[in-house]
Each structure stands twice: as C-alpha cells, then as structure tokens.
Amino acid sequence: MKTFPAFAVLLVVAATLPVSAAELSAPLTLERSNHFLIVHGPQIPSGAFKINYLEAYCRAGSTDADWVKHTVIKHTSELVSVSADKTVMKLKDTLADGVTVEHTITAKTDEVDFKVVAHNPTTTRSEAHWAQACPRLDDFTGFNDPKSKNLDDYLPKCFLFLDGKLERMPTREWAKTARYIPGQVWCPKNVPRTDVNPRPLSPLVPSNGLIGCFSGDEKLLWATAWEPYQELFQGVARCLHADFRLGGLQPGETKKVRGKIYIIPNNVPKLLKRYARDFPEQIRR
C-alpha cells in the first residue's frame, strides 16, 4: 500500500476545501519578487498570479524593428513601499534617458488598480512611447504544464471584443507572419500600426481596450485595461497585455496613466459595465 508524506495529504485536503465567503470578500494582496508583481488571493486559481512589471519601456517605430537594438529603453525598478496589509505598493522606475515613472498599485477585493505618473526631468525629449506589463495566466487558465511546448494551448480561454462582441482566440483572420512569432497584436484606430509589438499584427481593430481570459473551470474571468492604451497583445508566455501609451515626454513634461485588472465571476455584462464606469473615454471613442 502506497503511503504519502503528511504534508502532501494536507495539500490535497486544502485544495479541495471550498473558499469561504469571508475569504472571497477579503482584499487581494501584493508581493514584489525580483521583477515580478505577485497578486495573491483565495479568489485566484492556484492562489496567485504574477506580472512581469514592467517588462519594458519602448520606442515608436517598433512593429518591424529589432526588439533589443531599437525598441527597448533600459530601466531600473525600485520598491518604494508596501503597506502593512500588503494592499498598496509603490514602485519607482528610472529609465536610461532619465525619465522617472512612479507606480501606485492598490489591491481590492476583485481588482487591482494602477496609477502611473511619468515625468521627464531632463532637458531632452524622451523617446518612451509605450510600455508593457506582462501578466502570466497559465495557472489561471489551467494550462500550466511546464513540459508543454505548445505556447498557444491556452488561447481558447482568451478573449477580446471585436465588432462589439466577445470573441475567443484564436480570432478570425489570425495573423501568422511578423519579425517574431507566434503571438498576436491588435492595434486601436488612434495608434499608428508602425508603433506596436513586433509580433503578428491582426488586421482586426478591437472594439474596446479590454482583453482577458476565463479560468480553467470557466467560473471566473480575468481582464485588464489601461488608459491611454497602445495595443492589445497575446504573447508567448501564456500572457495577455493591454500595453499603455506614453507618446514620448517633452523636457519637464509629466503624464498620467491608469489601469485595472479585474478578477470576477464569469459575468461578461458585469465586466463591461465596470469597464464603462472606469474608462468612460474609451467608451466614447
């Protein structure tokens, strides 16, 4: 008869216990580990998900350019503070060209709120045109086999909005050619198609700035949006981006950006209602 270590039995039992109402109403919490922002909570499948935050600050002219030699502006990131209850985190990024970017990240019960302030204290215009956070969603979608080489296995769980309707990936007219493959980029009408990620660029224009996915059991959905946003992107780390736009900064200029991550029960009308409340300018556009 096979026996198991006591800690393994405890893990199995814990995994089968239902999440209590008290746990579901508790705020999410934040942790910083190396370059990753980790969001914890009993509401999340596997208990947490991580974000490469921020993965890169980028120059314009990026759609068909070398990612390392042209696009990425090097930066360093500093953890400024974390509140005692781990619900508010402040970070400060310093770009190689002198621009500073301050982040205030607030975890709530079913969302994470981002407030970003970019400032150019120098006498030279900054080429920082857009930036990307990279949320990793393998655990959330249930496609987390480290041995799998299929980077697109989670796509049927992922969605964005086209022609005013939710469409799961891979969407129609899925692009397959670019400087780097695989992946998929959707460019909004107000952004030049020359200035986005050098992955396959969809001919389709998103209806709004939301991109997201369903949990493995389809009971929850995860979605993100930023204002202003540069692109929506599906990448090779089982990730989904709504990358934010800076548009360059003149000497002495300050710009503000805001973002959200939603983690809610699978209720698309509710998601759209919250998105309209939080990003009214995107609805108007």
Judge whether 3 and 45 are in contact, CB under 8 Å: no
In a domain, 243, yes or no: yes
Tokens of 90: 């402040």
Q: What is the mean pLDDT of the chain?
A: 92
Judge whether 23 and 109 are in contact, CB under 8 Å: no
In a domain, 148, yes or no: yes
What is the rounded average pLDDT of the residues 245-259?
98
Residue 184: the pLDDT is 98
Q: Is 173 left (phi over 0), alpha (psi -120 to 50) or beta?
A: left
Residue 227 structural domain: 26-284
- pLDDT tens, residue by residue, 178-215: 999 999 999 999 999 999 999 999 999 999 999 999 99
What is the rounded average pLDDT of the residues 97-124?
98
Q: Domain containing 77 — which CATH number?
A: 2.70.98
Q: Is 61 left (phi over 0), alpha (psi -120 to 50) or beta?
A: left
Residue 14: the pLDDT is 36
In a domain, 14, yes or no: no
Mention every residue, 6+ apart, whose C-beta is less than 8 A from residue 66.
179
- pLDDT tens, residue by residue, 31-49: 999 999 999 999 999 999 9
Residue 23: the pLDDT is 57
Residue 4: the pLDDT is 38
Share of the chain above pLDDT 70, in %: 92
Q: How confident is the model at residue 25 (pLDDT cuts 50, 70, 90)?
A: confident
In a domain, 9, yes or no: no
Residue 17: the pLDDT is 43
In a domain, 274, yes or no: yes
pTM assigned to the model? 0.91
Q: How many C-alpha atoms does 152 have within 13 Å on its Cβ side? A: 10
In a domain, 11, yes or no: no
In a domain, 5, yes or no: no
Sequential DSSP letters for 44-76: SGGGEEEEEEEEEEE-SS-TTS-IIIIIEEPEE
In a domain, 1, yes or no: no
Residue 11: the pLDDT is 34
The answer to whether residue 78 scores a pLDDT higher than 60 is yes
The answer to whether residue 140 scores a pLDDT higher than 60 is yes
What is the rounded average pLDDT of the residues 165-175?
98
Number of domains in the chain: 1
The answer to whether residue 24 scores a pLDDT higher than 70 is no
